[in-house]
Amino acid sequence: MISLSGKVAVVTGGTRGIGRAIADTLAAHGAALIVNGRQGGEALDRAVHEIAAEHSVPVVGVAGDIGLAETSAEIARQAFARFKRLDIFVNNAGVLMDSLIGMIPPESVDRTIDINVKGVIYGTQAAVRLMQRGGGGSIINLASIIGRFGNEGQLVYGASKAAVIGATLSAAKELAARNIRVNAIAPGFIETDMVRQLPEDKYQQRMASIAMKRIGTPTDVAHAALFFASDLSSYVTGQVLGVDGGMLV
């Protein structure tokens, strides 16, 4: 059994979707958690209580927009104040706004870059100091198959997720000597709220492109995160792991 007992993990955007599945999976393996949600309020409170009750681990909620440096700083402060340590930081929070080239509003460019790219940079920066005090750690960034191979209608999203991969590779090199590993997960087509909004024909088109002929689940992605969070991956850094069932885009 993989044990994360005694470890402290952060999951940004951890109240629903893939982030929630990762939070549940890490908690199920014994990690204490800090869960971040952009809006806070009832959704964050509910997630915190549900995870704590189900897995009997301490769970702290930190509300805030991860595109702002202050939110990551507050997460690190909470980790220090409550647990005095930080071992795992999952940069999961992300947004997806499809637009065809020529029709992309500048606001959606800013928003996507703020959350998907700046959020990862700020999160990484906030995580490192506490991790190195504890002798090391694991940073896990959620990229996307779109950041590796691109897709029509996803110029901005693809750019942002490619940036996540670049940030992962650079941070892995800089932090290896401090025993902090940095890896990325590149999910394919995963059953989340984002996907449920797709029109039926688009949905079927995506399904047809998956070699394993099924949509991925948030838990499929969470298991990859568990691998990177645990000592099973103790000699793995700077990698991008596709969790996509053999999808072609």
Give the 3-state secondary structure of residue 108: helix
Which of 122, 157, 203, 235 is the catalytic position? 157
C-beta closer to other proteins: residue 49 or 129:
129
Count of CB atoms within 10 A of residue 132's CB? 16
Q: Minimum distance between the CB of residue 72 and other proteins, rounded to whole angstroms?
A: 10
Interface contacts to other proteins, rule CB under 8 A: 69, 73, 76-77, 80, 125, 129-130, 132-133
CA-CA-CA-CA torsion sign (3, 23, 73, 170): positive
What distances in angstroms separate CA 54 from CA 48, 63, 91, one per listed residue? 10, 21, 23
Q: Minimum distance between the CB of residue 131 and other proteins, rounded to whole angstroms?
A: 10
C-beta closer to other proteins: residue 134 or 153:
134
Angle value at C-alpha 180, between 177 and 184, nearest 5 degrees: 120
C-beta closer to other proteins: residue 178 or 223:
178
Long-range contacts of 97-100 (CB under 8 A, 24+ apart): 97/156, 97/157, 98/153, 98/154, 98/157, 99/153, 99/155, 99/156, 100/152, 100/153
> Strand pairing partners for 24?
none
C-beta closer to other proteins: residue 175 or 185:
175
C-beta closer to other proteins: residue 70 or 152:
70
Distance CA 123, CA 139 (A): 9
What distances in angstroms separate CA 193 from CA 6, 39, 41, 160, 189, one per listed residue? 32, 16, 19, 20, 12
Active site residue 122: no
Residues assigned a catalytic role: 157
